[in-house]
Structure 1
């Protein structure tokens, strides 16, 4: 049944008047834990799909004699015979942990799940290039957080870094625990070095594939990432369609710390030329051809570089939960000779749709079911970077990131594995929302309010190229906006209760739209930039109502499809494009909406929604959260 649409759109409010600056299109809870608590870590030991062996490669003869950062790379030498890794470095997390035990009780009563995370820096080589690596409990990638809906989750984070840190639970609503969202400058101050902080929240009203990552500067780019899986009884029907359940992390990778690359990116006159990755990783590992770096490059390349290997059994069905934990790159994911059946996008179960290539942008999640119906041999799994979206070239980069699917439990490189003939994407864009139909039907309600924001890069003082939402370029507030709002509401400061663009915050650095009471909100995100942007909304899912290029036709507003449109929490805004999203502003607190490309967020591409001040006015922020700002 089609819900009745409004004959007239609601008042469309420009959240802020456009400024007169020339817009340039650029190239782009208070619970204390005693020491010694043992973390509950779920290690899946099921026999099916899992990282068992590694494809080992050795350095080729004849190192490059030029600096590949500034000149063309030599042709790589012949591929060395592959062999099983004799040992796995202690800092590599066993991805058997990412092989989800199918005996997990999705009907179990709610319980407490306790984890201890110690975040530190080590020297390691995920792809063979030795560099500083940020790890959790001494290993990379991060540990699996696996829970049921209704569970209370306790994560005690000890920061052994020299800088602050914080963890964001990507996709979780945090309803009633906004201060546990982990967004530095918005919901908390960073966890200081040498201290611990307890994240304490209950997962309610949602289930599916999520992940967690640092939300302090560009820190997650350097390793602080991990999967978060939430189960619920409603999964039972979907579970009948697969025999094994596996999490797979995809990410781009840099051979330098993001903190070292960031100043150059933000430097005067750079004009938004983002750092181009040096490699990509699947399950935290990949092969790198050491000969691409000259002996005097300053990089140390180890000779134990590996690709991930996934052993499968013929005639079985595998659910692959794909998570793009990268900083910049959209991938086209595929498996040679195997069709993918998409069944989930950003924790929304969808009616199955068959594809051969699946675009997955930064921070997005998809589940695909793969039927292992091929002969007993080996095939390539591919996460191919869409390099046309890069603003520059990197001659050491091999954009075809590979892992091995083996029917024979061997590490022999494929001989008959052929990439799909369908063309790779030349632009960064999502799988069309029209292809995805949520399995659980929801009618998009009629909106009460609508806002438009313009996304751009502008050259400002000192020729600095900054990202803007209307005329605001975000920087993290020293006093988080949540702390400011709760204090202001308690002081009866009426500016914190006003509808629309909030005047309670510094508009030069904090763009906040306030929705004081429950409303359904439409947001038109309009991009004036020639690069694509994966936008993530904290604390909510949204309906994708419409998208296109040019100007949105408000005459079509009343004819929008409200019958079960696709729901996500992360979507790509096309170059020079727009997308209209709709969400229920029913979650109290301060919630970030930002581009998930880490370079762009640090350049200022973040805004916030302040929701339900009628409820926030009764809040008291836990003392341990407030204490983070006084250390």
Structure 2
């Protein structure tokens, strides 16, 4: 709370070293991939208007990237950190300087590897941007606390992925072994047989958050997991939601809050209860999983809220879970409950596109994800590099409105050559929910449904008065959503399911936006050099 919101813009320098360590966040020893030797990674904090210089040194045996989740990167598309889209990955033994300015946004964000499934193994960290605009809500709380939630596996994701993508496996994703709060949790070692091959230490601990009585705390919740949605609550304490995906919202009080992968919420809790210990609960919604992973997984992930700065377990008579329950579905907080504090009406659309999301079994009985008829495969030459080259050469195929034919068939790319407002109807034909994230933008949620099809007869009457804006939303199983985008930020921007397994199965598409600006770009030499190995 000592951060100066009104400090003049400055340059802030951070250094991140990506390495491999042996650690036991929940008592089970495994290999982790980490930033600066720690899990989760260090906090990156800045003000709107600041320039960030973040030097990433890769000491892994494999390549890597870092994506700055939720940042617009307006004018610096090549700093978005998406392997195969905006850059070639950073080779082993090499460094790369991410250099960008934080313009026109503030709130709760995070950063993570965007190369294969690496972030599942620990390459995550919080990123907070402040602004003078926060002053009006700061009077409503006394302390600011970041809380990272994550599902957790006891094996490297690279060892789990081949089984997921194997012939005959019909999209049965690896189920987590545990859940973590602030990178730690207890695990019952007796869940594994003695010959399981795991080294399990019965000395792991749960996270503990010390509070003072009669204060208000802002908890910035970030789901950095790979597969699981959490339902977050604090015994005896209500949650007042004030932010969703960096959009400040009119206060909404709830008992439990669903938070899917890559989403962020800020909630206020008032510590006005008896001075004792209470459970913080982050229940992994097992309804979202295709298997139960019993007896290994305990979905009731716990941490301590302690008024007494002690670690004793709360008494059942004092720490009482809420009796109200959320539906057993993988759904976001009802969008009608979220009203942006800073009103912004949705503009009228110029174009509308529809995509169908599905999993399909084709050659060799392999079940892959599809956007319409395309399953994504990352390219060795990023689509951004190809687009800039094509625009410089006046190749007309890079400049046609709509589905692009300029790229290989493994790339589903919608081109919007000039400033327009576009609607995208995302229609799920899959039995599982999908948390979709759009890079470089926030979108308006114009309408959504948990079943059936969008009724186009209602299209002209959609509410345009300050609809909710965010960058990650959950599309229900067999559901749909209509999102609206003001396509003004130039570059190649990914839209993908943030379930790590699904993206590796091909559930990613892109937008190529503002060719009228991109044609003047020259790819920075250090970005281009990454593709030289």
Determine if the TM-score, normalized by the shorter chain, exceeds 0.5. Answer: yes
Would you say the 8 A contact 1:594–1:605 is kept in 2? Answer: yes
What is the alpha-carbon distance in structure 2 between the residues aligned to residue 376 and residue 423 of structure 1? 26
Matched, 1:438 2:438: no
- Aligned residue in 1 for 2:106: 207
**Residue 313 of structure 2, aligned match among 404, 413, 417:** 413
- Partner SS for 2:291: coil
Whether 1:510 and 2:375 are equivalent positions in the alignment is: no
Q: Secondary structure at the match of 1:381?
A: strand
* Counterpart contact for 2:493–2:512, Cα < 8 Å: yes
Matches of 1:386 and 1:198, distance apart in 2? 38
Distance in structure 1 (CA, Å) of the matches to 2:457 and 2:416: 25
CA deviation after TM superposition for structure 1 residue 303, in Å: 2.8
Aligned equivalent of 2:167, options 268, 281, 291: 268
Cross-structure match for 1:382: 281
The corresponding residue for 2:458 is 556
**TM value normalised by structure 2:** 0.99
1:600 aligns with 2:502: yes
Match of 1:399 among 299, 303, 320: 299
Q: Residue 282 of structure 1 contacts residue 402 of structure 1 at CA under 8 Å; is this kept in 2?
A: yes
**Structure 2 residue aligned with 1:242:** 141
Partner residue, 1:584: 486
2:357 aligns to what?
455
For structure 1, list consecutive stretches of 5 or more residues without a partner in the other structure.
1-101
Partners of 1:164 and 1:456 in 2: CA distance: 30
Contact kept? 2:256, 2:325, Cα under 8 Å:
no
Q: Structure 2 CA distance, aligned partners of 1:498 and 1:304?
A: 60
Q: Distance in 1 between matches of 2:116 and 2:268?
A: 35
- Where has structure 1 moved over 6 Å in runs of 4 or more? none
Give the alignment partner of residue 75 of structure 2, picking from 154, 176, 181: 176
Q: RMSD of the TM alignment (CA)?
A: 0.5
The Cα offsets for residues 203-247 of structure 1, whole Å up to 9 and x where unpaired, read as 000000000000000000000000000000000000000000010
Match of 1:254 in 2: 153
Q: Following the alignment from structure 2 to structure 1, what is the Cα–Cα distance between the partners of residues 205 and 158?
A: 26
Once residues 95 and 453 of structure 2 are traced to their aligned partners in structure 1, the CA distance between those partners, rounded to angstroms, is: 49
- Report if aligned partners of 1:140, 1:284 keep a CA contact under 8 Å in 2: yes
Deviation at 1:424, TM superposition (A): 3.8
CA positional deviation for 1:401: 0.3
Q: Secondary structure at the match of 2:287?
A: helix
Deviation at 1:291, TM superposition (A): 1.0
Given the alignment of the two structures, is residue 530 of structure 1 paired with residue 431 of structure 2, yes or no? yes
8 Å CA contact retained: 2:280, 2:305 = yes
Residues 386 and 425, structure 1, Cα contact 8 Å, conserved in 2: no
Please tell me whether the aligned partners of residues 332 and 425 of structure 1 are also in contact (alpha carbons under 8 angstroms).
no
CA contact (8 A) 2:387 2:398 kept: yes
What do the CA deviations read for 1:25-45 (whole angstroms, capped 9, x no partner)? xxxxxxxxxxxxxxxxxxxxx
The Cα of 1:622 is off from its aligned counterpart by 0.5
What corresponds to 1:85 in structure 2?
A: none
Matched residues in 1 for 2:504 and 2:102: separation? 29
Out of 609, 616, 623, the residue aligned to residue 518 of structure 2 is: 616
Match 2:269 to one of 370, 374, 380: 370
1:77-476 map, 5 Å: 102-395=1-294, 396-415=296-315, 416-476=318-378
Aligned length: 529
Post-superposition offset of 1:389: 1.1
Normalised to the residue count of structure 1, the TM-score between the two structures is 0.84
SS of 2:251 mapped into structure 1? strand
Residues 469-497 of structure 1, C-alpha deviation per residue, up to 9 Å, x if partnerless? Answer: 00000011110000000001111101111
- Distance, in Å, in 2 between the alignment partners of 1:386 and 1:393 is 11
Q: Which runs of 5+ in 2 are unaligned?
A: none
SS in 1 for 2:159: helix
Deviation at 1:425, TM superposition (A): 3.1
Relative contact order: is structure 1 or structure 2 higher (C-alpha 8 Å, sep ≥ 6)?
A: 1
Checking the alignment, whether the CA contact within 8 Å between 1:221 and 1:258 is kept in structure 2 is yes
Secondary structure of 1:306 counterpart: coil
Partner deviation per Cα, 1:440-479 (whole Å, 9 max, x = no partner): 0001000000000000000010000000000000011110
State the Cα deviation string for residues 96-135 of structure 1 (Å, max 9, x = none): xxxxxx1111011000010011000011000000000011
Q: What is the rounded CA distance, in whole Å, between the counterparts of 2:81 and 2:121 in structure 1? A: 17
SS state at 1:628 partner = helix
Kept after mapping to 2: 8 A contact 1:119/1:158: yes
Q: Secondary structure at the match of 1:629?
A: helix
